[in-house]
């Protein structure tokens, strides 16, 4: 069986089994139900270093740091959609996700992520605990790569998947978090499928 | 000649011949060059009242205020893409554009703008004068309607068209404003065309 | 009894007795408990027109529109702190509040609101329903007036008062909304008192 | 000579002698002219690791990672104001600054940064190149610590210091960047002095 469309899920939490992981997986399941291939990468599983602004990518198009990032970036390039999730750390993505974002700079040299479909998920420790500002940060990254942004769509229809979780297993019982994340996954997959059709 | 794809431009300025009008028109020209139909609406030309939260649209699906807004909303529904531009008024869209945005609520009852392609343009009085936060406001409106967002793409590739204009005719000589607005128009049109193909 | 410090509350809702009104009043009560004078203005009670960019204020320092706005702006100038609340309308403040914001332009000619303490409250129809982006819009307005911004402080400590209310009387039972709004009111009053001491 | 008020400058760039460093130093000079003590920390000079969400700080109040961060956090606690600057990396602060932000979590256990005055500076590679969204990220961090936010004040009066610099020494000739950064430094120092007076 050949899948033509692939959606990557990226979990920006240092915790591999936390609420963000749970919600990004739910989003991927909803995408998968529409017939796309999915893959989940957990930043807690990989070695990742910060960009040091050496500017070598400006001449070579390649990052000079040898860790797990170039391989992950290759996966993003080979996908048609990306769902990025992060717990809220001070109203923003985690340092781990920010490292991946900064390290994606070589891909922007010739806009290798152009027209990939992007969606965002965030999980905060309190109800209005930075989920929206964290999603904005992910959207800004995506627009700067000339990606295409979708939100979670009907019925709640705001910026993306928004979870609340003060303990490690909160996400499983968080109806709003589950619904918005699944709807986001569906939205990303639908548009990726539509765009990929010849 | 039959156009299958139409992009609406909305100028949120009370000034009909100002810099925002100039840049939105440039965006529409770039879109038009790709073969889409375009139409420009200047909020300075129409009668527009604020939403008063009467909630009649929740039962009837129609707005109870009779001004030029319902007709304009119909045009948005009939288009495949929307480019909204606003001068920066205190880091945000104008009151005039905000009135249109608030009055669009009936369309969200059954998400009539779902999957329309959206892009944003803003013009500030100083260099980093609220252009980005104004564009964010427009994007938020669009995501809440389950629209699809694109930015201005290569080479500057940030959030949309960004002009600087302290006097009424500044836009014509504002290279960054022109380039980002044209690129935005092209991005909106390309995606609208791609999605509309059977 | 002479009050040296005054905090103005502004309710940006077209509904005079809605959830935003409830939470702004709670914020003012908390401020009042610290010994400051408070006054509440409901935009639903006043006549308010949009700025039409006539630029007369640039030459005269006064707005050429005669409605209730100049008197309200005078009250803001005479206060030491401002708490602005808005229901979330498409991820942003209402048109009514945006009209007041745009009409405040004469005060920025010589920065008459400089060093006033500002805080923001928003009420959304769903849990992560644009509360944060609405508060950001209010903060941006305040910073552009060179005001000083505070958030809601401990224990939840994010951007301001955040309510959820899908029906008209939801705010009274919304613990997070009440707590963050009261804490915001206290934060604004404490700093206004501290700065006003000789 | 005894200084009662101290403003810390934090440069979030991996480049120690870049444009952000230049503008944060200018802000500190302007602050220093008002009689406050200043100190500059360059994140490029220190060892800094990401938060791994071990939650040890929740029980002990101390971070379990031994690098240069705890000492830097101590300096922030001992200051009355903080000016944070970052180059724009994908519309947001650098990974390096994000690591410091995430690692500041122990200070939020009992809100040790409460009522410190905060201001933000960002430097983008293009004119409207993410400066505003980067400043928003810094403000969000500060509000979550219950800090007090000021902008750059008159005459440009937006969100903070905003530089444009595509090459390493651009900042020295960037009039808008210099003016907004100096005004920000002055605003932070003035309020810190006013609050610290008995």
| Lowest mean pLDDT segment, chosen from A170-174, B30-34, B67-71 | A170-174
The predicted structure's pLDDT at residue D167: 79
Report residue A3's pLDDT band, with 50, 70 and 90 as the boundaries.
low
What digits encode the pLDDT tens for the residues A73-101?
Answer: 999 999 999 999 999 999 999 999 999 99
Q: How far apart are CA D55 and CA D151, in angstroms?
A: 33
What is the nearest CA distance from C18 to chain A, expressed in angstroms?
Answer: 20
**Does residue B108 sit at the A interface (CB-CB below 8 Å)?**
yes
Nearest to D194, CA basis, from D35, D21, D13: D35
Q: In Å, how far are D24, D48, D81 from D71, measured between CA atoms?
A: 20, 11, 17
Q: What is the DSSP letter of A102?
A: H
**Does residue C14 sit at the B interface (CB-CB below 8 Å)?**
yes
Average pLDDT estimate for D78-93: 98
Q: How far apart are CA C20 and CA C10, in angstroms?
A: 10
Q: How far apart are CA D109 and CA D61, in angstroms?
A: 7
Q: What does pLDDT average to over chain D?
A: 95
Residue pair B102/C90 in contact (Cβ under 8 Å)? The answer is yes
- Say yes or no to pLDDT of C169 above 60: yes
Nearest by CB to D157, which of C144, C148, C191? C144
Nearest CA in chain A to D105: A90
Report residue D3's pLDDT band, with 50, 70 and 90 as the boundaries.
low
Average pLDDT estimate for C45-63: 95
Nearest to D188, CA basis, from D140, D141, D139: D139
Q: How far apart are CA C135 and CA C157, in angstroms?
A: 14
Residue pair D157/C141 in contact (Cβ under 8 Å)? The answer is no
- Which 3 state secondary structure label does DSSP give A85? strand
What is the nearest CA distance from C185 to chain D, expressed in angstroms?
Answer: 13
The predicted structure's pLDDT at residue C170: 86
- By DSSP bridging, strand B37-42 and strand A117-124 are unpaired
**Does residue A151 sit at the C interface (CB-CB below 8 Å)?**
no
Average pLDDT estimate for B165-178: 89
What digits encode the pLDDT tens for the residues A51-70?
Answer: 999 999 999 999 999 999 99
Number of residues in chain D: 198
Q: How far apart are CA B133 and CA A159, in angstroms?
A: 16
Q: How far apart are CA D129 and CA D121, in angstroms?
A: 13
What's the CATH number for B6-196?
3.40.50.360
Structure tokens at D114: 């409460």
Average pLDDT estimate for B83-111: 98
What is the nearest CA distance from A33 to chain D, expressed in angstroms?
Answer: 32
- By DSSP bridging, strand B161-164 and strand B148-149 are unpaired
Nearest CA in chain C to B130: C140
Kindly report whether the peptide bond that precedes residue C39 is cis, defined as omega within 30 degrees of 0.
no
Nearest by CB to C148, which of D140, D148, D157? D148
- Say yes or no to pLDDT of A197 above 90: no
Residue pair A134/A123 in contact (Cβ under 8 Å)? The answer is no
- Say yes or no to pLDDT of D193 above 70: yes
- Say yes or no to pLDDT of A135 above 90: yes
Q: How far apart are CA C52 and CA C68, in angstroms?
A: 16
Average pLDDT estimate for B22-50: 97
Long-range contacts of D25-29 (CB under 8 A, 24+ apart): D26/D178, D26/D181, D26/D182, D26/D185, D27/D83, D27/D85, D27/D119, D27/D121, D27/D161, D27/D181, D27/D182, D27/D184, D27/D185, D27/D188, D28/D83, D28/D185, D29/D182, D29/D185
Binary contact (D91, A141; C-beta < 8 A): yes
Q: How far apart are CA A124 and CA C138, in angstroms?
A: 22
Average pLDDT estimate for C52-70: 94
- Count of Cβ atoms closer than 10 Å to residue A15 Cβ: 18
Nearest by CB to B102, which of C15, C90, C104? C90
**Does residue D151 sit at the C interface (CB-CB below 8 Å)?**
yes
Binary contact (A158, B139; C-beta < 8 A): no
Q: How far apart are CA C20 and CA C124, in angstroms?
A: 9
What is the nearest CA distance from D62 to chain C, expressed in angstroms?
Answer: 19
The predicted structure's pLDDT at residue A2: 57
What is the nearest CA distance from C45 to chain D, expressed in angstroms?
Answer: 31
Alpha helices per DSSP H over D33-147: 56-60, 69-77, 95-103, 105-109, 131-144
Structure tokens at D190: 């003035």
Nearest CA in chain A to C161: A128
Average pLDDT estimate for A12-31: 96
**Does residue C34 sit at the D interface (CB-CB below 8 Å)?**
no
The predicted structure's pLDDT at residue C59: 93
Q: Which chains touch B (3 or more CB pairs under 8 A)?
A: A, C, D
Average pLDDT estimate for A21-25: 98
- Say yes or no to pLDDT of C184 above 90: yes
**Does residue B153 sit at the D interface (CB-CB below 8 Å)?**
no
What digits encode the pLDDT tens for the residues A35-47?
Answer: 999 999 999 999 9
What digits encode the pLDDT tens for the residues C106-157?
Answer: 999 999 999 999 999 999 999 999 999 999 999 999 999 999 999 999 999 9
What digits encode the pLDDT tens for the residues B43-70?
Answer: 999 999 999 999 999 999 999 999 999 9
pTM of the model: 0.98
What was the ipTM of the complex prediction?
Answer: 0.96
**Does residue A90 sit at the C interface (CB-CB below 8 Å)?**
no
Give contacts of C111 with chain D, Cβ < 8 Å: 153-154, 157
Q: Which of A109, A117, A153, A161 would best serve as a mutation to test chain B binding (most B beta carbons within 10 A)?
A: A153
Residue pair D134/D164 in contact (Cβ under 8 Å)? The answer is no
Give contacts of C164 with chain A, Cβ < 8 Å: 127
Nearest by CB to B162, which of D128, D136, D180? D128
The predicted structure's pLDDT at residue B178: 97
Q: How far apart are CA D158 and CA D80, in angstroms?
A: 22
For chain C, give the percent of residues with pLDDT over 70.
98
Q: What is the DSSP letter of B160?
A: S
Domain boundaries, chain A: 6-196
Nearest by CB to A89, which of D90, D96, D102? D102
**Does residue B141 sit at the C interface (CB-CB below 8 Å)?**
yes
- Say yes or no to pLDDT of C54 above 90: yes
- Say yes or no to pLDDT of B2 above 80: no
Give contacts of B88 with chain D, Cβ < 8 Å: none
Q: How far apart are CA A93 and CA A158, in angstroms?
A: 18
**Does residue D162 sit at the B interface (CB-CB below 8 Å)?**
yes
Q: How far apart are CA B123 and CA B93, in angstroms?
A: 10
Residues 176-195 of A with CB under 8 A from B: 187, 191, 194-195
Report residue D166's pLDDT band, with 50, 70 and 90 as the boundaries.
confident
- Say yes or no to pLDDT of A32 above 80: yes
Q: What does pLDDT average to over chain A?
A: 95
Nearest CA in chain B to C135: B137
Nearest by CB to B128, which of D91, D136, D158? D158
The predicted structure's pLDDT at residue B21: 97
Q: What angle do CA B38, B40, B41 make, to 5 degrees?
A: 145
**Does residue B150 sit at the A interface (CB-CB below 8 Å)?**
yes
What is the nearest CA distance from D19 to chain A, expressed in angstroms?
Answer: 13
What digits encode the pLDDT tens for the residues B85-95?
Answer: 999 999 999 99
The predicted structure's pLDDT at residue D60: 93
Helix (H) or strand (E) holding C124: strand C117-124
């Amino acid at each position: 069986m050949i899948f033509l469309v692939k959606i990557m899920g990226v979990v920006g939490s240092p915790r591999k089994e936390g609420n963000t992981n749970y919600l990004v997986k739910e989003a991927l399941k909803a995408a998968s139900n529409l017939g796309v291939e999915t893959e989940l990468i957990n930043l807690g599983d990989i070695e990742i270093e910060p960009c040091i602004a050496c500017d070598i990518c400006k001449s070579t198009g390649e990052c000079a740091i040898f860790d797990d990032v170039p391989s992950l970036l290759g996966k993003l390039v080979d996908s048609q959609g990306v769902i990025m999730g992060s717990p809220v750390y001070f109203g923003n993505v985690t340092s781990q996700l920010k490292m991946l974002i900064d390290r994606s700079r070589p891909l922007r040299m010739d806009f290798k992520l152009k027209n990939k479909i992007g969606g965002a998920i965030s999980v905060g420790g309190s109800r209005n605990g930075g989920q929206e500002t964290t999603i904005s940060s992910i959207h800004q990254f995506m627009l700067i790569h000339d990606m295409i942004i979708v939100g979670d769509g009907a019925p709640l229809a705001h910026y993306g998947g928004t979870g609340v979780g003060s303990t490690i297993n909160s996400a499983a019982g968080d109806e709003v978090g589950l619904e918005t994340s699944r709807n986001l996954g569906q939205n990303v997959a639908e548009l990726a499928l539509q765009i990929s059709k010849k």
